[in-house]
Amino acid sequence: AQSVTQLDSQVPVFEEAPVELRCNYSSSVSVYLFWYVQYPNQGLQLLLKYLSGSTLVKGINGFEAEFNKSQTSFHLRKPSVHISDTAEYFCAVSRTGGYNKLIFGAGTRLAVHP
């Protein structure tokens, strides 16, 4: 079975500052890794995903994440945040071979202040 731990429930940051949202996973098999963003009362939007290949993955809205197999981590980063980045961010994992049954972390609330 797979599990995901998001180490910070809330991350406050000032506008234009860099941010890192941490995600660690546990799995006995190979996995795919995802980051999703959720705005209030909305569904989820895919920010980026790691399937294979380069461990540095670039996504939408200037976000990127790095897959570290030895540390079983997939931290999300952005060099300069905007007020509009305020949202809930979810890290998720699924077994390789399909996108089935995503397992989500508890989420990290990113609050960007002016």
Contact 30, 39 (CB under 8 A): no
Q: Does 47 bind other proteins (CB under 8 A)?
A: no
Regarding 30 and contact with other proteins (CB under 8 A), the answer is: no
107: DSSP letter = -
CB of 3 or CB of 80, closer to other proteins: 3
Torsion of CA 15, 104, 74, 17, to 10 degrees: 0
Instruction: Rule CB under 8 A: choose which of 15, 24, 86, 102 binds other proteins.
Output: 102
42 contributes a contact to other proteins by CB under 8 A = yes
Other CB atoms closer than 10 Å to residue 93's CB: what's the count? Answer: 23
> Which residues of the chain form contacts with other proteins (CB under 8 A)?
36, 41-46, 90, 98-107
